Amino acid sequence: MYTIAFDTTAASCSVALMKDDKLLDSFVEEMDFGQAEVLIPAIRDLLAKHNLEVRDLGLMVVCVGPGSFTGVRSSISAARAFGLACPQMVVGGVSSFDAYAYALSWNPEEIAPVNAVIIETKREDFYYQLFDEHLNKISDPSAAVRDDIITALRDKKVTFVGDGVERFLASPTGLSIHAIVMKPHLDVEDLAHCGLRKFNRKTTDYPKPLYLRAPDVCVK
């Protein structure tokens, strides 16, 4: 089965193409704006490079956030549109938290009793969610300031992973840290594997946006 996964929720546009559980190819372009304009051509070109069309896909995985409101909406809208055009293809959503947590599975020695996914918001706070040693969720996804996250992690042995880790750990926390996994952006291969795992377990979620705060601008 062919799977394609993509993410435009942060400062990049990324696409991965897999056959079964093996990565065939990927596309990543760092960019602060314009991901929506790059996404569809990137998907088309990646498929064409391997003599494939969207109708050849069995699974499409999209990152549902949290992240840029525009980026989240763009990705999910594209995935839903592809799903309507190709009803034989399963379309599933995966959160950034799940994809970052999955990244720890490549190096099990980095997994701690508590694993904190820290995602950059470019504000004073962070998006975060906690996972146990089996990478199961043990907290709800939240937006919180640094001091509140530190309080939640007090007296716990913690591994940190995510694109917000560098800023979060820029000054001492007083926490017991097992490992630090800094990621400049979400790895779209992890997103694809996470979506494929959900598909194989028959737990695929139809993509719905994960917003952890209200938009900056509201039109009344």
- DSSP for 67-125, written as a single string: S-HHHHHHHHHHHHHHHHH-TTSEEEEE-HHHHHHHHGGGSGGG--SEEEEEEE-SSSE
What are the tens digits of pLDDT across the range 19-62?
999 999 999 998 888 888 999 999 999 999 999 999 999 999 99
What are the tens digits of pLDDT across the range 83-136?
999 999 999 999 999 999 999 999 999 999 999 999 999 999 999 999 999 999
pLDDT band at 215; cut points 50, 70, 90? low
Q: pTM, whole model, 2 decimals?
A: 0.93
pLDDT band at 216; cut points 50, 70, 90? low
Domains and CATH numbers, the chain: 2-95+186-200 (3.30.420.40), 97-182 (3.30.420.40)
Distance CA 64, CA 61 (A): 9
